[in-house]
Structure 1
Amino acid sequence: MLLCYRIFAAVLSFVHLMILQIVLVPNSARGGNIVFNTGEGFEEAKTAPQSVVHIRNQQRNGRKSLTTISGLQEDLDLKKILKYIRKMYSTNGTVKKDKEHGEVIQVQGDLRKEIASFLVEYKVCSKEEIKLHGF
């Protein structure tokens, strides 16, 4: 049992390190915000216009549901963000193109609060930019 716990703790710390590699040194140390970008390294965010990130829950059938995230900045690498959301919350998801909203992240399950806290914690967007729907 102890060996199993140590392996689990090692895996969790590895996942946490992977996330920290892509995210951020504190704003004060860098002099600006760091965002997920489509290149190899980090980019400092220029004073981007405030956009609203919409997080919605869509009922499928029975108890099944989808969480959709739309309105993220276009320069963000949505596939990389989705990769870490899937690992952290043990779920599956995809990036879909929508005529009305552009590229949208779809995640299985009702993870509105968890995804909102993920986006704020890893400084993808601020808490004021997030709009939760369906409460």
Structure 2
Amino acid sequence: MSSNTANVNAGKSKTKAPASSGDTISNLGPAFDPFAQGNDPFAEAAPTKVIEKSVGSKADKIHIRLQQRNGRKTITTVQGIPDKYDPRKLLKAMKKEFACNGHVVHSADSDDEDSPAPGKKDEHGKVLQFQGDQRVAVKEFLVTAGLVTAKEAKDQIVIHGY
């Protein structure tokens, strides 16, 4: 009986899988060690600056947002219009085109001393505000008026919201 058990154990011996070649691991790229000295996610130094440079700055883009007011009332804000264009002339042409009201907020030449944050007056630059949802109309106007070319519109104009 002991010879039967020896044959059974010998027939069921486990074999190890063949060692994988180093080629498949090298295709995955360098090994990432989350605890290595240069991979601190909470570091305030260089990694955030590198990410910001690769993504691009917000200053070179035109942001179009929709803000909710009371009930169904909305405001469309346009931020990041280049300084070489007069915001008041743009506003006048856009109001006439869209058949809505609007105004310029945080203009560099305004002298509003009753601003809630006087030190941060020019943080967002010149912001145009329009009544209603005018996001698509603003983008089309910027392209047709020649402020942005059709090719650049995909990269330069960012429409926020649903």
Which TM-score tier does this pair reach, normalised by the shorter chain?
A: 0.5 to 0.7
Distance, in Å, in 1 between the alignment partners of 2:81 and 2:122 is 15
Residue identity matched to 1:87: K
- Alignment partner of 1:125 is 2:148: yes
CA RMSD of aligned residues (A): 1.4
Runs of 4+ in 1 over 2 A off after TM superposition: none
Partner residue in 2 for 1:102: 125
TM-superposed deviation, 1:99: 4.2
Partner residue in 2 for 1:134: 161
1:69-122 deviation digits (Å, cap 9, x = unpaired): 001111111110110110111100000005431110000100000100100111
- The runs of 5 or more residues in structure 2 that have no matched partner are 1-58, 107-120
Residue identity matched to 2:75: L
- 1:102 counterpart SS class: coil
- Alignment partner of 1:87 is 2:96: yes
- Alignment partner of 1:58 is 2:85: no
User: What percent identity do the matched residue pairs reach?
Assistant: 42
- Alignment partner of 1:116 is 2:162: no
Q: Greater CA radius of gyration, 1 or 2?
A: 2
Distance, in Å, in 2 between the alignment partners of 1:84 and 1:99 is 23
**Which of the pair is proportionally richer in strand?**
1
Aligned residues: 86
- The runs of 5 or more residues in structure 1 that have no matched partner are 1-49
Distance, in Å, in 2 between the alignment partners of 1:60 and 1:99 is 24
